[in-house]
């Protein structure tokens, strides 16, 4: 299950991403926003990241104007590794090295075509594991010491 959310700054790209996921026959859910009216990105980041954190969803996609606010909020949730990506290389690395379970993008940075391409790369890339898993384990261990 892939859950997708945006604020008004990411609304257009969110719709394009959902169309892609449906075309690929992937199980997905639209967590809003429903239109271009101004809303607050933390509310939508919390819905998506919360679903990934509690296991309701396997993956999440969050889009605001820059992707910055969404990634900041999503990374407050236990077990969430949200990666803000801007190009094909960062989309690939977000999976290959960081095994990001939430993808954050900027709807005011990327065209719908560019954003859809980054989602495809992230979905189609495998996590490399090995030394990268050790580093993710360190993130979890250090995060658990903070709470
Ligand atoms: C909303 O204007 C904008 O601040 C938001 O979409 C996002 O870019 C925040 O990080």
Residue 70 has pLDDT above 80, yes or no: yes
Give the pairing of strands 102-106 and 82-84: parallel
Q: Is the CB of 42 under 6 A from ligand 1?
A: no
Q: Which residues pair with 82 in a beta bridge?
A: 102
Separation of alpha carbons 74 and 7, rounded Å: 14
Nearest CA to ligand 1 atom 4: 65
Mean confidence (pLDDT) of the chain = 98
Question: Is 64 assigned a catalytic role?
Answer: yes
Residue ranges of domains in the chain, CATH in brackets: 2-146 (3.40.1400.10)
Q: Which atom of ligand 1 is nearest to the CA of 68?
A: 10
Q: Is the CB of 7 under 6 A from ligand 1?
A: yes
- For residue 65, the CA-to-ligand 1 centroid distance in Å is 5
* Token pair listed for 133: 């898993």
40 CB contacts (<8 Å, ≥6 apart)?
Answer: 7
Reported as a single tens digit per residue, the pLDDT across 23-34 is 999 999 999 999
- pLDDT of amino acid 11: 98
Reported as a single tens digit per residue, the pLDDT across 35-52 is 999 999 999 999 999 999
Separation of alpha carbons 123 and 134, rounded Å: 22
Q: Is the CB of 66 under 6 A from ligand 1?
A: yes
Q: Is the CB of 69 under 6 A from ligand 1?
A: yes
- For residue 62, the CA-to-ligand 1 centroid distance in Å is 12
pTM: 0.98
Q: Which atom of ligand 1 is nearest to the CA of 9?
A: 6
Q: Is the CB of 73 under 6 A from ligand 1?
A: no
- pLDDT of amino acid 42: 98
**From 8, 86, 97, 132, active-site residue:** 97
Is 30 strand, coil or helix?
A: strand
Reported as a single tens digit per residue, the pLDDT across 86-118 is 999 999 999 999 999 999 999 999 999 999 999
């Amino acid at each position: 299950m892939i859950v997708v959310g945006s604020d008004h700054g990411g609304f257009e790209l969110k719709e394009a991403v959902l169309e892609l996921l449906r075309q690929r026959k992937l199980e997905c859910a639209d967590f809003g926003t429903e239109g271009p009216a101004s809303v607050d990105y933390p509310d939508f980041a919390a819905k998506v990241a919360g679903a990934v954190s509690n296991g309701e969803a396997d993956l999440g996609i969050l889009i605001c104007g820059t992707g910055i606010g969404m990634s900041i909020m999503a990374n407050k949730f236990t077990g969430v590794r949200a990666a803000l990506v801007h190009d094909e290389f960062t989309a690939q690395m977000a999976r290959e090295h960081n095994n990001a379970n939430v993808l954050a993008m900027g709807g005011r940075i990327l065209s719908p075509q560019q954003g859809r391409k980054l989602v495809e790369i992230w979905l189609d890339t495998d996590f490399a594991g090995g030394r990268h898993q050790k580093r993710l384990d360190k993130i979890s261990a250090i995060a658990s010491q903070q709470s």
